[in-house]
Amino acid sequence: MAYILYSVTVFFIVVATALFFTRARWVPQLPDLPGAGYIYSRLPDSFAGDIEAGLTSSTFDLSGNVEEGDSRAGLDGVAKAEVLKIMKKRRLTFDKARKVYMESRFKANGIGADGIPRDPKFVSFS
């Protein structure tokens, strides 16, 4: 019995090693899982790439940055990923997803949706 277990274990290790080293050939032929390409796709690192990804609108226009030749890396990667995730998950437009993202950031930092801090010690003079 131990001989069979040993043989199956060695066979499994050999097959797993062969699959690992030949993954460049067979992984592209696998069918795409729904959402897998979106979650693990590389985000663009320029304003032009951000525009192509749909991260622009009439109220948040990035075309001026591209026209002026802005050499910065584009929008913040973490915020960009979160906004894209909200857009995909809730099927929202870019502006609405950006609003949801900012409201969640405000809430996490103790700021109300109106922009006023929710700290009980906060004093405002107007």
Cα–Cα separations (whole angstroms), residue 104 to 26, 32, 107, 120 = 41, 31, 5, 20
Inform me whether the pLDDT recorded for 74 exceeds 80.
no
Contacts of 123 (CB under 8 A, 6+ apart): none
Instruction: Give the domain ranges of the chain.
Output: 1-30, 32-108
CA atoms within 13 A on the CB side of 86: 20
Percent of the chain with pLDDT over 90: 20
Please, which pLDDT band fits residue 94 given cuts at 50, 70 and 90?
confident
Q: Which long-range contacts (CB under 8 A, 24 or more apart) does 50-58 make?
A: 50/74, 50/75, 50/80, 53/80, 53/84, 54/87, 54/94, 55/80, 55/83, 55/84, 55/94, 56/94, 57/93, 57/94, 57/95
What's the pLDDT score for residue 44? 58
- Residue 44 tokens, joined: 């663009």
Closest CA to 51 of 31, 29, 25, 80: 80
What pLDDT digit, counting tens, does each position of 28-38 carry? 787 766 655 55
Find the range with the poorest average confidence among 67-71, 103-107, 117-121, 122-126.
Answer: 67-71
